[in-house]
Amino acid sequence: MRGKVFRGIREQLRNQVLQGRDIHGLALAPSLGIVLGIIPLLGVSTALCALLAVLLRLNHLLIQAANYLVYPLQLILIFPFIRLGEHITGISVLPDSFDQMQAHFRLEGAAALLDYLSAALLGLFAWLLLGIPLGFLIYFSLRRSLPKISSKQPRDAQRG
């Protein structure tokens, strides 16, 4: 009985992952999840992944799993993206240290908030420049390797 329950759960998970999608969809979902998962704006990646999954008819489980998998990278890459955006544009908006940031907020309030909004836009600009090629690289790598993986699946799993 217990083995039958676990087999049923495993079968449901496998069906959710494969969900009748072709190689294109199985490669595109995690590619977008990873790229959107490192966007340097906290709180938007999950909604963007859900929106794209609906619009492009992608596997929600795959796109969100990839998104959540790279969440630590999102946190790590926020400031490097901002600094890269500053470097590319020649616009410097963030102070160099955390103490300077605190002082900036204490002294300037709303003006500091606008600076941090500008910093977010610079980070987004750098993310777009790097994220698009990264997404293509991940997509084509997955698309190339998925036929090899799917050919190892039992024949009845490939049909469903």
Long-range contacts of 11-17 (CB under 8 A, 24+ apart): 14/157, 15/160, 16/59, 16/61, 17/59, 17/61, 17/62
> How many Å apart are CA 136 and CA 101, to the nearest integer?
36
72 DSSP assignment: H
Domain limits, the chain: 2-159
Q: How far apart are CA 129 and CA 82, in angstroms?
A: 12
pTM for the model stands at 0.74
> One digit per residue, pLDDT tens: the chain, 160 residues?
677 777 777 777 666 656 546 788 889 999 999 999 999 999 999 999 999 999 998 989 999 999 999 999 999 999 999 999 999 999 887 767 667 777 767 777 777 778 788 889 999 999 999 999 999 999 999 998 877 655 555 544 444 4
| Sign of the alpha-carbon dihedral angle for 96, 97, 98, 101 | negative
